[in-house]
Amino acid sequence: MPHYTPPLRDMHFVLHELLKVTDTLKTLPAHAEVDVDTINAVLEEGGKFASEVIAPLNQIGDAEGCSLNRDTHEVSTPSGFKAAYEKFVEGGWPSLGCDATYGGQGLPVTLNQCLYEMLNSANQAWTMYPGLTHGAYECLHAHGTPEQRQTYLPKLTSGEWTGTMCLTEAHCGTDLGLLRTKAEPQADGGFLITGNKIFISAGEHDLAANIIHLVLARLPDAPEGSKGISLFVVPKFLVNADGSLGERNAISCGALEHKMGIHGNATCQMNLDGAHGWLVGQPHRGLNAMFVMMNAARLGVGMQSLGLTEVAYQNAVAYAKDRLQSRALSGAKASDKPADPIIVHPDVRKMLLTARAYAEGGRALAVFTALLIDQELSSTDKTVKQDAADLVALLTPIVKAFMTDNAWIATSQCLQVFGGHGYVREWGMEQFVRDARINMIYEGTNTIQSLDLLGRKVLLDKGKKLTKLLALVQQLIHDECVHGEMLEFINPLADLGEKVTKLTTELGLKAFGNPDEAGAAAVDYLRLTGHLVFAYFWTRMARVALNHQESDDPFYRAKLATARFYFAYLLPETAALLRSARAGVKPLMAMDESLF
């Protein structure tokens, strides 16, 4: 069985040494009292829950999966999932980052994101149940009526009820403008919702007393396309005026998807047969309201992949230190044993360091982005709020796509460390690979994220958001270029920053003449930008490590070694990405469709 140890030391490094989050939190009235001890105490207890309660259920959930009773349309989760969720609720974990007005603890998004990294390392399938609930909470908190907020948010905050988002349908995938689900107005101000939804994670289960579905549907007078979509809250059980549960609503699970991974999470086909629903936000503006939940989910998917990268790395390292096979090419390293541990071999180390560099770089980016969200939500300075909002908008597709791509690479290479044993179920590595694969598809495929980054977040606003990111990079270069020990990091960072700036201008001009040029370059462009962001954080982390090199603390020596590995082995990918991003659309579109 795989093991998991919460990476508290590295979390403390990112939170307190790299980003100094409490300095920023002190400027936010809502979080001014949050100190280092509070953060550390929450993370320690959250880590215990992750490693001791839900991690042992990960392989059980994968083996058992969920089961559907076709007569009652009820879904049973794997053994232990319900009891673990009860402990989660009893511990107050669902309310960590929620508004105190509705029973929440009001702690920063930054802290909640760190908790969810650990939960995802321990058991992604289980974690998706409360993770999606938090997204539903955020959507209703932002766009619900006062009555809706009072009805649903206290129970979502406590975890007594869970939430989902019901978006896509079998015929439309990401193109939600094609959806057909209908909403018929009723005399009481409500609506009857009829249609079918697919791929609804946590759509039906036995963990909570009620499930609050946020459903996209069309009103009778809706215009065609995405501008004709409205959002509705549709509870599994209707809620009486006194807050008690009433009759079963006409929304049910018709089937469970049989998936490659995340077997412990119920991915449902949901049928709505005149289900009672209530409008959330403005008519025909449902996507605007739902984007609150979708953006939260995109960041959540990035955290899922960060969690998998970390746990795969931990298990691969343990195996590589223990597994004896062959001798080092430079001579025996363990002469008292029949063979050397495989960690002596350069390519094994390359695979391990790839996972480590992507995990630690991803953690820095994830916490930085979460801290920006706290500033966007809670700062009283309008400029700070706007700058934070712009950077969050720019970084969200990078968190989602770059980190999920990296997890696919890292989990696969960690499996490779195990050799044939990695392909065998008992070691748990193949589950990490299977679970990681869906994250590149969730919440808009990584191609969609790339188009969003290049098309909407960069070119559409003429590079305003990108300029704010580049300003951070330039400030770091300015501050550190005079320090000789930093040039091995500063020089490649500066070089990549200049190349991304130049490429952005080139692609803008090409896309102006032919929009398909943006489509041809977008995926490479996002990965380039992802590396720019990681190079920025690895440079900053190297600075902190160098500041402690006199201490001879092994943590800082390892951080510096990983930084050097990233710049030597992973950043050079950008050279190929630059060439392919400039290759243009012609080689992709030249061949006649009939020849495929």
The mean pLDDT value for 352-378 works out to 97
In terms of Cβ atoms closer than 10 Å to its own Cβ (0-12, 13-18, 19+), residue 547 is: exposed
What's the pLDDT band for 440 if we cut at 50, 70, 90?
Answer: very high
Query: In sequence order, what DSSP letters do the residues of 253-301 get, joined into one string?
Result: EEEE---SS-TTS-EEEEEEEEEEEEEESSTTBHHHHHHHHHHHHHHHH
Q: For residue range 449-493, what is the model confidence (pLDDT) as tens digits?
A: 999 999 999 999 999 999 999 999 999 999 999 999 999 999 999
Give the 3-state DSSP-derived string for 249-265, with helices as H, strands as E and coil as C. Answer: CCEEEEEECCCCCCCCC
Same domain flag for 484 and 563: yes
Q: Closest Cα to residue 532, out of 470, 449, 462?
A: 470
What's the pLDDT band for 549 if we cut at 50, 70, 90?
Answer: confident
Structure tokens belonging to residue 206: 């036995």
Residues facing residue 271 across a β-bridge: 196, 252
CA distance 292 to 143: 9
Residue 57 exposure: Cα atoms within 13 Å on the Cβ side: 27
Domain presence at residue 390:
no
How many residues are present in the chain? 596
Q: What is the pLDDT of residue 81?
A: 98
**pTM for this predicted structure:** 0.96
CA distance 397 to 444: 10
CA distance 191 to 189: 7
The mean pLDDT value for 159-166 works out to 96
Q: Is 341 helix (H, G, I), strand (E, B) or coil?
A: strand
Distances in whole angstroms, Cα of residue 179 to Cα of each of 121, 173, 233, 395, 465? 34, 9, 17, 28, 32
Q: What is the pLDDT of residue 293?
A: 73
Q: What is the pLDDT of residue 177?
A: 82
Q: What is the pLDDT of residue 137?
A: 94
Least confident interval from 6-10, 44-48, 165-169: 165-169
Specify whether the CB–CB gap between 238 and 247 falls below 8 A.
Answer: yes
Structure tokens belonging to residue 56: 């042992």
CA distance 388 to 371: 9
Same domain flag for 137 and 169: no
Portion of the chain with pLDDT greater than 70, in percent: 100
Distances in whole angstroms, Cα of residue 217 to Cα of each of 150, 200, 284, 495, 554? 23, 15, 9, 48, 56
Domain region containing 221: 163-286
Domain presence at residue 125:
yes
Query: In sequence order, what DSSP letters do the residues of 37-95 get, joined into one string?
Result: HHHHHHHHHHHHIIIIIIGGGHHHHHHH--EEETTTTEEEPPTTHHHHHHHHHHTTGGG
In terms of Cβ atoms closer than 10 Å to its own Cβ (0-12, 13-18, 19+), residue 90 is: exposed
Q: For residue range 289-331, what is the model confidence (pLDDT) as tens digits?
A: 877 777 888 899 999 999 999 999 999 999 999 999 999 999 9
Domain presence at residue 504:
yes
> In this structure, what CATH number is given to the domain that contains residue 270?
2.40.110.20
CA distance 450 to 519: 9
For residue 32, is pLDDT > 80? Answer: yes
Catalytic residue among 169, 310, 430, 443: 443
Same domain flag for 128 and 221: no
Specify whether the CB–CB gap between 313 and 229 falls below 8 A.
Answer: no
Q: How many CB atoms lie within 10 A of CB 471?
A: 11
Domain presence at residue 343:
no
CA distance 96 to 115: 9
The mean pLDDT value for 77-81 works out to 98
Same domain flag for 575 and 465: yes
Same domain flag for 190 and 244: yes
The helix/strand count (H/E) of the chain reads as 18, 11
Portion of the chain with pLDDT greater than 90, in percent: 94
Distances in whole angstroms, Cα of residue 245 to Cα of each of 205, 209, 236, 242? 17, 9, 10, 9
For residue 417, is pLDDT > 90? Answer: yes
Q: Is 443 a catalytic residue?
A: yes
Same domain flag for 75 and 171: no
Q: Is 246 helix (H, G, I), strand (E, B) or coil?
A: strand
Q: Closest Cα to residue 136, out of 147, 125, 149?
A: 149
Out of 251, 271, 286, a domain closes at 286
Out of 143, 176, 207, a domain closes at 143
Q: Closest Cα to residue 12, out of 4, 22, 3?
A: 22
Residue 97 exposure: Cα atoms within 13 Å on the Cβ side: 25
What's the pLDDT band for 199 if we cut at 50, 70, 90?
Answer: very high
- CA torsion angle 392 154 380 536 (round to 10): -20
For residue 176, is pLDDT > 90? Answer: no
Domain presence at residue 361:
no
What's the pLDDT band for 382 if we cut at 50, 70, 90?
Answer: very high
Q: What is the pLDDT of residue 541?
A: 98
- Distance between alpha carbon 380 and the CA centroid of its chain, in Å? 27
Same domain flag for 479 and 579: yes
Domain presence at residue 298:
no
Residue 389 neighbours by CB under 8 Å, 6+ apart = 376
Same domain flag for 206 and 252: yes
Same domain flag for 226 and 109: no
Domain presence at residue 3:
no
The mean pLDDT value for 258-267 works out to 97
CA distance 524 to 346: 28
Specify whether the CB–CB gap between 150 and 99 falls below 8 A.
Answer: no
Out of 238, 256, 286, a domain closes at 286
Find where tokens 């991803």 sit. Answer: 362
For residue 393, is pLDDT > 80? Answer: yes
> In this structure, what CATH number is given to the domain that contains residue 104?
1.10.540.10
Q: Is 320 helix (H, G, I), strand (E, B) or coil?
A: helix
Same domain flag for 123 and 244: no
Rg of the chain's alpha carbons, rounded to an integer?
24
Q: What is the pLDDT of residue 286?
A: 87
φ/ψ of residue 205, rounded to 5:
-170, 180
Q: Closest Cα to residue 177, out of 220, 214, 229?
A: 229
Domain presence at residue 291:
no
Same domain flag for 82 and 118: yes
Give the count of domains, the chain.
Answer: 3
Same domain flag for 15 and 137: yes
Q: What is the pLDDT of residue 297?
A: 84
